[in-house]
Amino acid sequence: MDLPLALNTFMTLSLITLTTPILLTLLSGSLKDAPTTITNTVKTSFLISLIPMTIHIYSGMESLTSVWEWKFIMNFKIPISLKMDFYSLTFFPIALFVSWSILQFATWYMASDPHITKFFTLLLLFLIAMLILVTANNLFVLFIGWEGVGIMSFLLISWWHGRAEANTAALQAVTYNRVGDLGLILCMAWLASTMNTWEIQQLPSTHQTPTLPLLGLILAATGKSAQFGLHPWLPAAMEGPTPVSALLHSSTMVVAGIFLLIRTHPLLSTNQTALTLCLCLGALTTLFAATCALTQNDIKKIIAFSTSSQLGLMMVTIGLNLPELAFLHISTHAFFKAMLFLCSGSIIHNLNGEQDIRKMGGLQKMLPTTTSCLTIGNLALMGTPFLAGFYSKDQILESLNTSYLNTWALTLTLLATSFTAVYTIRMTVLVQTGFVRIQPLTPMNENNPAVTSPITRLALGSITAGFLLTSFMIPTKTPPTTMPLSIKMTALMVTALGIALALEISKMTQTLTLKKQAPLSNFSISLGYFNPLTHRLSSTMLLNSGQNIASHLIDLSWYKKLGPEGLADLQLTASKTATSIHSGLTKAYLGSFALSIIILLMSMH
């Protein structure tokens, strides 16, 4: 059997299957029962994409398909080519599996929405853009996918566009993403002018790469993956419906930035400055997000900050020069994070729109499936041994502990790991256990299979994905084999410490009253004061400098003051001064005459 042909065929078939609903709609008009159709389309695409992955696992085959070549100018060709290597072949099934579950869930979640067809179409378009990004072989196609996911994110966050917060959140997302795009364009421009190519294969990997394009790439990743500095859009993006949060802002879109860094890893690996920058930025992000998550009361915001924290951890892995480990974490993270979002969506809808965890409690008995899967997801997030998150997270922390790196980054990451445990346990305790704090008349049920089957499917994935992925992933860099016991147990100990601390403090809150104002808790609650400072400062500075330059400097100064008006003012001053000298007193006049004569005699003689 011709394996390369099969690989290429099934991959492209998988992609084309996804576009079928859109093409059908364009050709024939409206789509009947769009949600189910689109869900089934994605399921089919997932099943098809399993075949190329199996081929790759079986034979280690990778392929590169060139579809068309755009002869831009004489020396610069831009081939539209798809790269099917380990990363894209593995990511396809995972992304499609997660998307299938989310879409199935969304048929229940968005059932009462009048524009449900448009919603599903937008989600499908997003998925296509994401998959284009993942299979891109050159930065041009990647950029197409990159911009595509950005636009879709904007449209989907502002789905309920009557709500002002949703609109501002979408604007924030677009603006911060745009700032990141500047970095990507910078890198592309540098590559085009120095390497004369945008192909990922042709990126230099032998000698030292200059820092400038790498800074551009890191900026792009900061924007798209919400690293510290360009992070406010991710918590704000929770204004969108839960399926959007689950698909875009946990599993697929936000990992695009990290994915870019994984793809361009050969460039990064030679430049130690860039690697250290990634490391420190990632460490800062992970700790900052974990700190902010400690005091959040909105269940979706907690999960959003958790996503941000895990993205920081992925960035740290990139900084450690371990792209495959980062990819592993992306894959495992997709499962349990999407499941966490779906569970929270089920809880929110069942509680009739309540998102505040202070108004939830004791849901374990009322929503058993959802809360059990929530627990599984939380345990996977914390890195409980042999669940999905353990395989990636523990390896990352081991590599962190055994490499020669910045102690500050190490400390921050370990602290963030314990914080992860703290806020996860807090969320679990407040949502599932304790006294019931919900509205009295809340009919809730889990009878709809559209709710339970995606969640259970993803729970299965959360449990087994780590094991399965590490079984067939062959690491190109040697993982650390021996280390002292304390180092090996660091991640576990830190997590256990966090759990214990969280449980103790939760118990304390039931008996003691909380202090009114505490600086640290204020810092955490106001998300580090970042949002008001940057948002207000940047727009004020821009507008002020605009007024100064355009209105004050050019219009007022150059055209008026230094020209006619200034001259007229001078003459006015001179005239007034001269008039005040002519007082009318004869004595003064005669005195001035005498003085003038004396001066004349003195000076000329």
Partner 1 sequence: MNPQAKLIFAISLLLGTTITISSNHWIMAWAGLEINTLAILPMISKSHHPRAIEAATKYFLVQAAASTLVLFSGMTNAWHTGQWDITQLTNPVSCLILTSAIAMKLGLVPFHFWFPEVLQGSPLTTGLLLSTTMKLPPMTLLYMTSHSLNPTSLTIMAILSVATGGWMGLNQTQIRKILAFSSISHLGWMVIIIIYNPKLTLLNFYLYTLMTATTFLTLNSMKALKLSTLMTAWTKTPPLNAMLLLTLLSLAGLPPLTGFLPKWMIIQELTKQDMATAATAMSLLSLLGLFFYLRLAYCTTITLPPHTTNHMKLWHTKKPTSIMIAILTTMSTALLPASPLIITII
- Give alpha helix (H) positions in 60-115: 86-109
Judged by beta carbon, residue 562 or residue 574, the one nearer partner 1 is: 574
User: Applying CB under 8 A, does 575 fall inside the site for partner 1?
Assistant: yes
Q: Which of 207, 365, 515, 576 binds partner 1 (CB under 8 A)?
A: 576
What is residue 223's three-state secondary structure?
Answer: helix
In our burial notation (b when 16+ CB lie closer than 10 A, e otherwise), range 8-28 reads: bebbbbbbebbeebbeeeeee
56: tokens are: 């790759």
Nearest-approach distance from CB 561 to partner 1, in angstroms: 20
Residues 312 and 351: their CA atoms lie apart, in Å, by 32
| Position 574 contacts partner 1 (CB under 8 A) | yes
Is 604 a binder of partner 1 (CB under 8 A)?
yes
584 binds partner 1 per the rule CB under 8 A: yes
Nearer to partner 1, 23 or 574 (CB): 574
Tokens of 277: 């920058």
Name the one range near partner 1 by CB under 8 A: 263-271, 506-514, 558-566, 597-605.
597-605
**Closer residue to partner 1, CB minimum distance, 549 or 595:** 595
Site for partner 1 in 414-443 (CB under 8 A): none
Query: Is 411 near partner 1 (CB under 8 A)?
Result: no
When the beta carbons of 543 and 572 are compared against partner 1, the nearer one is 572
d(CA 105, CA 338): 11
Closest CB 565 distance from partner 1, rounded Å: 15
Smallest separation, CB 563 to partner 1 (Å): 15
Between 72 and 593, name the residue whose CB sits nearer to partner 1: 593
Number of chain residues interacting with partner 1 (CB under 8 A): 20
Site for partner 1 in 534-573 (CB under 8 A): 571
Applying CB under 8 A, among 207, 365, 516, 605 the residue interacting with partner 1 is 605
Please answer whether residues 328 and 473 qualify as being in contact, where contact means their C-beta atoms are separated by less than 8 angstroms: yes
**Closer of 70 and 593 to partner 1 (Cβ):** 593
Residue 85 CA: distances (Å) to CA of 60, 98, 137, 263, 455: 9, 20, 10, 11, 29
CB 183 within 8 A of CB 222: yes
Could you say whether residue 596 binds partner 1 (CB under 8 A)?
Answer: yes
Q: What is the 3-state secondary structure (H, E, C) of 295-352?
A: CCCEHHHHHHHHHHHHHHHHHHHHHCCCHHHHHHHHHHHHHHHHHHHHHHHHHHHHCC
Q: Which is nearer to partner 1, 489 or 590 (CB)?
A: 590
Of 509 and 592, the one with the shorter C-beta distance to partner 1 is 592
CB of 592 to partner 1, least distance (A): 6
Pick 554 or 572: Cβ nearer partner 1: 572
Q: How far apart are CA 117 and CA 110, in angstroms?
A: 10
Task: Using the structure block, give the residue that is written with the tokens 């990511």.
Answer: 91
C-beta of 599: minimal distance to partner 1 in Å?
9
CA dist 2 and 501 (Å) reads 58
Question: Least distance (Å) from partner 1 to the CB of residue 580?
Answer: 10
What gap in Å lies between CA 173 and CA 167, rounded to an integer?
10
Q: Whole-angstrom Cα distance, residue 367 to residue 348?
A: 12
- By the rule CB under 8 A, 589 interacts with partner 1: yes
Could you tell me the two tokens for 207? 């000698």
Report which of 449, 339, 331 is spatially closest to residue 391, judged by C-alpha positions.
331
Tell the smallest beta-carbon distance from residue 571 to partner 1 (Å): 7
Region of 222-230, 330-338, 457-465, 586-594 interacting with partner 1 (CB under 8 A): 586-594
360: left (phi over 0), alpha (psi -120 to 50) or beta: beta
83: DSSP letter? E
Provide the token pair at 542: 């821009």
Q: Which spans of this chain sit near partner 1 (rule: CB under 8 A)?
A: 571, 574-576, 578-579, 582, 584, 586, 588-590, 592-593, 596-597, 600-601, 604-605
